[in-house]
Amino acid sequence: MKRELNITVNGESYNFFVEPKTLLVHVLREMLGFTGTHQACDSSSCAACTVIVDGKAVKSCSILALQVNGKEVTTVEGLADGANLHPIQQAFIDNWAFQCGFCTSGQIMAAKAFLDENPNPTREEIQMQMDGHICRCTGHNMINEAIRDAAKRLQSREAAKKLPAQKNLQSHKWAQTAKSGKGA
């Protein structure tokens, strides 16, 4: 018997009926069209299907959709701000952190949840965090580099946000004068 499911995905709420055996990944991909969430092993072993539920990275292939009733889900489609990619997405591109891209959305979602919790991780912490993510083509070093780069980008974005707009401009001007002063 179908049951009612209420979920918010990337800020929009959805309400419909599903069979209890339906997994979260199927709701996202087949019912709502968020095909950025990938399925690879389908048995909890690769983390390609990782999405964020109430702030935590989880494997959508191993969760009954009804267990997410009333919760907030973020998929890779929820990261970009219009045409502007999220800093983590951009860092993956700039650091050559994917080839076929099959594992990428899972990697990025895990990195997002992780950096929200730990904005300045070490290489080892990233390794421990990402150890369940299997990438068959890129090599995990570049992914690690991309996440460290993303952390830096996010930190400078946060720092810029904290300064009032005008002050920011002033300090910028000051920095330039100081620089040219040094050169003179």
Partner 1 sequence: MKTITTDFEYLPATTVEEALDMLSQHKDDDYKIIAGGQSLCTAMKHRLIAPEYLIDIKGLTDLDYIKFDEKEGLKIGALATHRSLEKSQIVREKYSVLCEMEENVASVETRNWGTVVGDLCNADPAVDPAPPLIVLDAKLKIQSKGEERTVAAEEFALDFFETTVQEGEMVTEIQIPVIPPNTGVYFTKYSQMLGDYALGSVAVLITLDKKKEVCANARIGLAGVDSAPVRAKKAEEVLKGKKITEALLAEAAEVVKTEINPVSGIEGSEDYKRELAGTLLKRVGKVALERAQKA
Ligand X SMILES: Cc1cc2nc3c(=O)[nH]c(=O)nc-3n(C[C@H](O)[C@H](O)[C@H](O)COP(=O)(O)OP(=O)(O)OC[C@H]3O[C@@H](n4cnc5c(N)ncnc54)[C@H](O)[C@@H]3O)c2cc1C
Given the rule CB under 6 A, which residues bind ligand X? 44-45
Size of the site for partner 1 (CB under 8 A): 30
Select from 75, 129, 138, 144 the one that contacts partner 1 (CB under 8 A).
129
Query: Cβ distance 30 to 86 under 8 Å?
Result: no
| Pairing relationship of beta strands 72-74 and 50-53 according to DSSP bridges | antiparallel
5: β partners: 16
23: β partners: 64
- By CB under 6 A, is residue 98 in contact with ligand FES? yes
Closer residue to ligand FES, CB minimum distance, 7 or 108? 108
- By CB under 8 A, is residue 63 in contact with partner 1? yes
- By CB under 6 A, is residue 35 in contact with ligand FES? no
- By CB under 8 A, is residue 136 in contact with partner 1? no
Cα distances from 117 to residues 57, 100, 114, in angstroms, run: 11, 28, 5
101's contact among ligand FES, ligand X, partner 1, none, with CB below 5 to 8 A by partner kind, is ligand FES
163's contact among ligand X, partner 1, ligand FES, none, with CB below 5 to 8 A by partner kind, is none
CB of 22 to ligand FES, least distance (A): 15
- By CB under 8 A, is residue 20 in contact with partner 1? yes
* Contact residues for partner 1, defined by CB under 8 A: 1, 3, 19-21, 23, 26, 39, 42-44, 47, 50, 53, 56-59, 62-64, 66-67, 110, 114, 128-129, 131-133
* Contact residues for ligand FES, defined by CB under 6 A: 39-42, 44-49, 59, 61, 98-104, 135-138
